[in-house]
Amino acid sequence: TGKMYACKKLDKKRLKKKKGESMALLEKEILEKVNSRFIVTLAYAFQSKTALCLVMSLMNGGDLKYHIYNVGERGLERDRVVFYSAQIICGILHLHSIKIVYRDMKPENVLLDDNGHCRLSDLGLAVEVKDGKTITHRAGTNGYMAPEILKEESYSYPVDWFAMGCSIYEMIAGRTPFKDYKEKVEKDEVKK
Q: Is 122 a catalytic residue?
A: no
- Shortest CA distance to 167 belongs to which of 78, 98, 81, 61? 81
Q: What is the DSSP secondary-structure string of 82-130?
A: HHHHHHHHHHHHHHHHTTEE----SGGGEEE-TTS-EEE---TT-EE--
Give CA–CA dist 106/127, Å, rounded: 16
Residues ≥6 apart with Cβ < 8 Å to 79:
none
Closest CA to 90 of 76, 105, 77: 105
- Residue 178, φ and ψ in degrees, nearest 5: -105, -25
If residue 80 lies in a helix (H) or strand (E), which one and from where to where?
A: helix 78-97
Q: Pick the catalytic residue: 63, 79, 104, 180?
A: 104
List 46's β-bridge partners, or say none. Answer: 53
Measuring CA to CA, how many Å separate 80 from each of 7, 36, 38, 75, 155? 28, 21, 16, 10, 31
Q: Please identify every residue annotated as catalytic.
A: 104
